[in-house]
Amino acid sequence: MLKPIFVALIALTLASPALAQTGDRTERLLAELADAPGPPGFEEDVRRIVVREVKPLADSVTYDGLGSVIAKQGASGPKIMLDAHMDELGGVVRRVTGTGFLSMQMLGGWLDQALPDQRWIIIGSKGPVRAVTGIRDIHVVPAEERTRVFPRDSLYLDVGAKNAAEVAALGIGAGDPVVPDAPFAALANGRYLGKAWDDRVGVAVVIEALRRLKASGHPNQLYVAATVQEEVGLRGARTAADLIKPDIGIAIEGGITGDSPGRNPEETQAVLGGGPGIFLYDSSAIPNRKMVALVADTARAAGIPLQRDLVQGYGDDSAAIQATAGGVPTVNLVVPARYTHAHNGVIDRGDFDGMVDLVVALIKRLDTTTVAGLRDFTP
């Protein structure tokens, strides 16, 4: 019988130094969220953390049919959907070979060069099992192949088993979820290393914003949606929006920085530590122009630096939200992150705190009159 996935989280917590570290409440929340396993379709552990955090802050907590969490705060005014997705890049076991290796179906937009010689955790029926994707030894690789990127279908997970029976004895098999093994760590200068900042950093933002808005109040019905399966097609955002029928949608995401060496300046202009960002364009969505102006004005009034960016090859939940309920004005706000869609990313605490400040100030401005103006397209 399959054990609850929370057993895996307990084991991961015991094995990881993240939650044993000192730090304030926000740092501890970021660490717990980053370390939690949750590839698309397997968000149980992340959902458990989210529900624990939002229940004391919300008037009600409900779920859509895919498992997204919807926490409502406020009984009157326009409906504001504040979104962040719980899932991360990962995979599922595809098959087990006779010699005890496992092939993997990737979930989400992985680069092939990010996959070899990495540590992974497979969540099986008996708890987590550590694995590594192998890499060929340089001693036997021909010189002409040493700079080649090997395709993902040539990679196998090695759990140390000698045959398929030993793999089965570990409690793992086809269909089991796989996540990066990359524990949270606090770096110098208020920067945090960890996996899954896309989009656990957004999940932490919406939780902290909900906490502050509980104390200060706001003029609307705020729906915080922690959604599922964003990395495989923005699915949870659509189903959650179908239930909420929002007047306004705000997605909070992990952004992309261009400040590390060797980057093309046309890829992205955001820098770590430069403040929260706003996407003026990505491959999935063009934001509402009035929303963009309101965000910029809110940031300026609050003295929050705002980074503007346009990124190709990027999709986010605002695209799914804006195409529901007859059309919803939306915007995508981002916490800059280095090295997304890989095992190890880096974020800046100042950028995170600035985003929480911005979201709280923005929600407070979204009263009935302001929202009506944002939704008015009369020539």
Helices of type H across 117-226? 164-169, 197-216
**Residue 238 parent element (H or E):** helix 235-244
Residue 206 CA: distances (Å) to CA of 82, 101, 212, 307, 335: 7, 40, 10, 19, 12
β-pairing verdict for 191-194 and 60-63 = unpaired
Residue 190 CA: distances (Å) to CA of 41, 124, 206, 273, 281: 32, 35, 20, 9, 29
CB distance 302 to 357 below 8 Å: yes
Nearest by Cα to 295 from 311, 277, 314, 281? 277
- Which candidate in 32, 88, 230, 266 is catalytic? 230
Q: Tokens for 330, please give them.
A: 């939306």
343 is in an annotated binding site: no
231 is in an annotated binding site: yes
- Is 166 a catalytic site residue? no
Supply the DSSP string of 21-83, one letter for each residue. S---HHHHHHHHHHHS---TT--HHHHHHHHHHHGGG-SEEEE-TT--EEEEE-SSS-EEEEE
CA dist., res. 248 & res. 291, Å (int)? 9
Residue at 361: amino acid letter: A
Q: Is the C-alpha dihedral spanning 179, 180, 185, 191 positive or negative?
A: negative
Residues known to be catalytic: 230
Binding residues for Zn(2+): 85, 198, 231, 253, 341
In the annotated binding site, the residues are 85, 198, 231, 253, 341
